[in-house]
Amino acid sequence: MKGNEMLYYVTGFRPSDYEDMAEKPAGIWARIRWHFKKIRYKTKLKRMDEVWRMMGGSCFGLFPPSFYETHTEEEIQRITDETMARLRKMVEEPDQRTAEKKE
């Protein structure tokens, strides 16, 4: 069983359960059901992240699994690029300071 499959197995999270959450329904009972689904969805995303951290995922993963479930591929790529640029800048700054001290 692969990592994401195991997370789905442990948390019971199935994205197909929440496909109809894009817009709020009209009736009062349907809206109440919709809010319960939304709460359950957020709870399962939190549980998925907890399992990921418990399994040591925070060491090498850039973002938790819930990030990939709640963002589009374009957003993921853009945010990843921005994050990597900030990390590269942080890595290069000490090198520049060290070079200035040697001169």
First CA to last CA distance, the chain: 55
User: Half-sphere exposure (CA, 13 Å, Cβ side) for 91?
Assistant: 6
Nearest C-alpha neighbor of 10 from the set 39, 57, 50, 40? 50
Token couple for 33: 């059901």
Evaluate whether 66 touches 45 at the Cβ level (below 8 Å): yes
Look at residue 84 and tell me whether its pLDDT is greater than 80.
yes
More confident residue, 102 or 10: 102
Per-residue pLDDT tens digits for 11-62: 555 555 555 555 666 788 888 888 888 888 888 888 888 888 888 776 677 8
Three-class DSSP category at 80: helix
Q: What is the spatial distance between Cα 47 and Cα 13, in angstroms, rounded to a whole number?
A: 9
pLDDT of residue 3: 47
Mean pLDDT of 89-96: 79
Q: What angle do CA 52, 50, 10 make, to 5 degrees?
A: 70
Token couple for 83: 């994050």
pLDDT of residue 82: 94
User: Half-sphere exposure (CA, 13 Å, Cβ side) for 5?
Assistant: 2
